[in-house]
Amino acid sequence: MVDFKFPAWRQRLVRSLHVNRSQAQSKYFQVASVSKDGLPKNRTMVFRGFVLESLNLVSVTDIRSDKVSDWQLNTPKKFEICWYFSGSREQYRIAGHVSLVSNEILKDARNEHANRESVVFSETYLRQQWTNLSRGAQEQFFGPSPRAPFDIKADDDKNYDSDGLAGIKDINSLNPDGLRGGNAASQATQTKVTNSESQINNSEKSSNAESAFDISDHFCVVIFTPLSVDYLNLKGSPQLRCLSDIENDWVELVVNA
């Protein structure tokens, strides 16, 4: 059996998350999309780990938000992430396609007898991401619709951030040895990688994993599937910039910054 080897950008990203783990902002990235009017839209979302043994990044949002509406009107659903790590002075621009998973989407897929082989397109994965949220973050998905007029009589303690920013958990368990390789040295780190990525996906789970809430119909898991990556390291002279994409099997091309 041939061991799966993550591309260079994915290995760097795991290391960047570990190096910058003490900085809260390292958990947030900016996500751009195109509105139904053809206008660029940008917002901050929370990184909630990788889909296990893949390149896909995970976040969550309220299905009533504008970005979901924009993505649902477009095929394919395109995105670009811009992710800057101030501690290590690194930037990742990740572009690709979005997949959405919610109660409603899963129901429609069953009715249409859709052929979905991905493990993420399931009720089990949806519930896993739901239970990863804190109780407070779950409550937000039962609140008023994003961009609806604010009710001043509403509970002052509620936070209606549709991306659940208040519910972010610590991902400090990221391991700097998030590398895969075919030689003996990399094989020695492979177990560390697997354990590290399990922690990425599991460390966010609430201590009360058995949530008192059923999954809100407004809860939506967002899966970002990368198709191209533009990596920039601002340290040193000259600065390092590497381009790679899935069509070229993620082989990096070093270019001028």
**Cβ-based neighbour number of residue 78 at 10 Å:** 16
Q: Give 3-53 pLDDT, tens digit per residue.
A: 678 999 999 999 999 999 999 999 999 999 998 888 999 999 999 999 998
Please check whether residue 171 lies inside any domain of the structure.
yes
- What CATH number should be reported for the domain holding residue 45? 2.30.110.10
Question: How much is the pLDDT for 156?
Answer: 56
Within 8 A by CB and 6+ apart from 64, the residues are 145, 146, 162, 218
Q: Residue 88 above 70 pLDDT?
A: yes
Please check whether residue 19 lies inside any domain of the structure.
yes
Question: How much is the pLDDT for 120?
Answer: 72
Strand 57-62 relative to strand 219-233: parallel, antiparallel, unpaired?
antiparallel
Q: Structural domain tally of the chain?
A: 1
Q: Give 114-154 pLDDT, tens digit per residue.
A: 555 466 778 899 999 999 999 999 999 999 998 888 887 76
Q: Structure pTM?
A: 0.77
Structural domain boundaries, residue 239: 8-255
Please check whether residue 1 lies inside any domain of the structure.
no
- Confidence class for position 206, pLDDT limits 50, 70, 90: very low
Token pair belonging to 57: 């990044």
Please check whether residue 137 lies inside any domain of the structure.
yes
Q: Give 50-68 pLDDT, tens digit per residue.
A: 999 899 999 999 999 999 9
Q: Which whole-number Å values give the CA distances from 240 to 17, 50, 212, in the listed order?
A: 18, 25, 48
Among the residues of 20-84, which ranges form H helices? 66-72
Please check whether residue 35 lies inside any domain of the structure.
yes
Q: Which of 2-11, 76-85, 170-179 has the lowest mean pLDDT?
A: 170-179
Q: By three-state DSSP, how is residue 165 classified?
A: helix
Average pLDDT over residues 200-210: 43
